[in-house]
Every structure is written in structure tokens, then in C-alpha cells.
């Protein structure tokens, strides 16, 4: 699998302007043949009341990565991608620093895609594992 040729770190970051991704400082940092990697800071904007990374912030990172990857893998002049289901298992807490998410494809069908997202801390330890199912819809 390869992403569309125009996909780059810069093009993905440009899509984030004036969105939740910009608000949470989610930044794409790497694009490979079949993966996208992003980072997100962990600070008070991302905390739950105990001062830990909010599980919802992890899910935002995961859904962003899976949705963007799906978008980058289809002909976006004729199709668009929307999330059908996202799940997450929160494995380890984080109080500060950065988390890193990497998404890779599990299934790339004509009408659905499934992407896995692994979120790790700065030491490379697993923080959250997530999976998103995407619907591929035709533009009319």
C-alpha cells in the first residue's frame, strides 16, 4: 500500500488548521509507505482532573491518525472517509511530555478500512492501543 503521491507531512499538517487537531497541538511528523506518525503534547489542555492524559485526548489522536491515513489512501476527488467506530485500550498513564501515535492499515477495502493506532510515551512504552473502522463514501 502506498499513499497518494501528494501526501506529505506538510500537506497533512495543513489540513489541521482551525480544527481540534490544531487546538490540541497534534502534529504529523512522519509519513511512510503504509504508516503515518504524529505527536501530541501532554499538558493541562490534555489532562483529566487527576493530572493525567485524558483518555479522550488519546482517542482524538488515534481517530485523527486513522481518518487522515484513510483520506490519504483514497482518490479524494471522488471519495471521502468518515469514522464508523473507534475503540481504545488505555494501558499506561502520562502526566507530561509528548505521546506519539503511529497508524498502520489492517484492512483496506473498497467501502471500509480498518486502521490500528499505537500511542507510546517518550520512552517508547505503550500508552494506548486503538482501532478505527472507516467508511469510504462516494462524493455526489
Residue 63 annotated in active site: yes
Q: Which of 63, 85, 116, 138 is catalytic?
A: 63
Task: Compute the distance between CA of residue 22 and CA of residue 122 in angstroms, rounded to an integer.
Answer: 21
Is residue 29 within 8 A of residue 38, CB to CB? The reply is: yes
* Distance set, CA 119 to CA 47, 66, 81, 127 (Å): 16, 12, 22, 5
Task: Compute the distance between CA of residue 111 and CA of residue 97 in angstroms, rounded to an integer.
Answer: 38
Catalytic positions: 63
Amino acid at each position: 500500500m502506498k499513499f497518494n503521491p501528494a501526501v506529505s507531512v506538510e500537506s497533512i499538517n495543513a489540513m489541521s488548521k482551525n480544527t481540534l487537531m490544531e487546538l490540541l497541538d497534534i502534529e504529523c511528523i512522519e509519513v511512510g509507505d503504509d504508516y503515518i506518525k504524529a505527536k501530541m503534547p501532554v499538558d493541562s489542555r490534555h489532562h483529566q482532573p487527576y493530572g493525567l492524559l485524558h483518555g479522550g485526548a488519546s482517542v482524538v489522536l488515534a481517530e485523527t491518525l486513522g481518518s487522515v491515513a484513510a483520506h490519504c489512501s483514497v482518490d479524494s476527488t471522488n471519495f471521502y472517509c468518515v469514522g464508523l467506530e473507534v475503540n481504545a485500550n488505555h494501558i499506561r498513564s502520562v502526566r507530561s511530555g509528548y505521546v506519539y501515535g503511529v497508524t498502520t492499515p489492517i484492512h483496506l477495502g473498497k467501502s471500509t478500512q480498518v486502521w490500528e493506532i499505537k500511542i507510546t510515551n517518550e520512552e517508547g512504552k505503550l500508552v494506548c492501543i486503538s482501532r478505527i473502522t472507516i467508511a469510504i463514501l462516494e462524493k455526489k
